[in-house]
Amino acid sequence: MKFATVFTSATAANASLANIAVPSNVPSYVTQYAPIVYLDSTEPYFPSDIGAQLQHTIPEINFTAVNGAPNPLTLDNVNQLNSLGGDNVYLTSKDNIQTNPQWLYGVKPDANGKTDGAVSCAVIVNDHGSGLVDAFYMYFYAYNYGGVYFGFEIGDHVGDWEHNMVRFQDGKPIDVWYSQHSNGEAFTYNAVDKYNGGIRPVVFSANGSHANYATTGTHDHSIPDVNLPFGPVEDHCDKGPVWDPVASAYFYTYDTNTKQFGTYDEDTPVNWLSFVGKWGDDQYPKSDPLQSSPFGINGLYKYVGGPTGPEDKQLNRTQVCPDNGIKCIVRPFLTARR
């Protein structure tokens, strides 16, 4: 497989940070218009290597190791767990997470915005035909810090998948999706800020939760698809370390008819994308000494279950928003407080 190097710089039209080597048959616009992420300046949990997560976890169902699971677990064989429990499988940390094992903290991007030595992004291209293409930029973090609300720490979990999606028509970007907790926000491409005055959309990753926003500041997410400047459940974003996700990424295709993933490079692992289980621990029971919940209220647990992977992120959407019954609002401008 031949590779093409996308030469980019802060002064180039596409205003990136690093030289990006990608398979030569990846559509050029997928990298040219790929988002640039600002991590929060106080972020402790950086993007993480997708494969490394498997080295530090063991597949379990109901906190019991899955019998007959592949060992060692790799990106090439983790999908075998689908026949050994499927979506009931949780990739459970081998370590007590309260000991703060180093692998939970990921890899801080270097001066070029690259997570050196860690493939922390998967780019998945869905060609709908007639010039309509959706490019998903899936971001992986080994740990999610839920935050403190009313004095209680709530919503922590091992493993965290977030994403942006850029919708293209005839190679031109038209809309951008920002994932946030149970839903997210959509904007026209023209509405969002671009990195260094170029053409790549800017994303602000919230401290700890890694929810993606189009602006800095405080974001209350009490109400899905409504972004308020304050409230009881807040995310916080600023212009901290810059991360260029496609500088260290795997590149894939998605066939909507067969629901199969393909690669642009025969050396890229692909089987892991079909894994339907969870990328972290199951929610600890109330009896677990690690667990807590304010006043015993269900739904306000300190530790919750890990997330599903990219295959569960509605890769074949009708609109730029997920088809989840919530009205898709594609905003032609940023929030009013800007």
230, exposed or middle or buried, with CB in 10 Å at 0-12, 13-18, 19+? exposed
Helices within 61-166 (DSSP H only): none
Unique residue bearing structure tokens 């860690």: 118
- Residue 225: CB atoms within 10 A of its CB come to 17
Contact predicate 235/219, CB 8 Å: yes
Confidence tier at 296 by pLDDT (50, 70, 90): confident
Helices within the chain (DSSP H only): 28-32, 52-55
- pLDDT one-digit tens code per residue, 155-177: 999 999 999 999 999 999 999 99
pLDDT at 10 over 90: no
Domain ranges of the chain: 3-331
**Rounded CA gap, 90 and 71, in Å?**
15
Percent of the chain with pLDDT over 70: 89
Rounded to 5°, the CA angle 223-121-270 comes to 115
- Residue 179: CB atoms within 10 A of its CB come to 23
pLDDT at 2 over 50: no
Read off the pLDDT of each residue in 272-298 and give the average, rounded to a whole number. Answer: 93
pLDDT score of 299: 79
Question: Residue 166's beta-bridge partner residues?
Answer: 135, 176
SS3 of 259, please?
A: coil
Long-range contacts of range 97-103, CB-CB < 8 Å, 24 or more positions apart? 97/143, 97/158, 97/281, 97/290, 98/290, 101/56, 103/48, 103/52, 103/56, 103/142
Confidence tier at 20 by pLDDT (50, 70, 90): confident
Read off the pLDDT of each residue in 306-334 and give the average, rounded to a whole number. Answer: 94
- pLDDT one-digit tens code per residue, 262-275: 999 999 999 999 99
- Residue 25: CB atoms within 10 A of its CB come to 13
pLDDT score of 243: 98
- pLDDT one-digit tens code per residue, 109-139: 999 999 999 999 999 999 999 999 999 999 9
- Identify which has the larger pLDDT, 5 or 79: 79
Confidence tier at 221 by pLDDT (50, 70, 90): low
Where is 204: in which H helix or E strand?
strand 202-205
- pLDDT one-digit tens code per residue, 47-78: 999 999 999 999 999 999 999 999 999 999 99
Task: Give me the DSSP letters along 207-237.
Answer: TTT--EESS-EEEE-SSTT--BSS-SSEEEE
Q: Measured between alpha carbons, how far is residue 2 from residues 21, 102, 309 in Å?
A: 10, 36, 28
Unique residue bearing structure tokens 């740990």: 143
pLDDT score of 149: 78
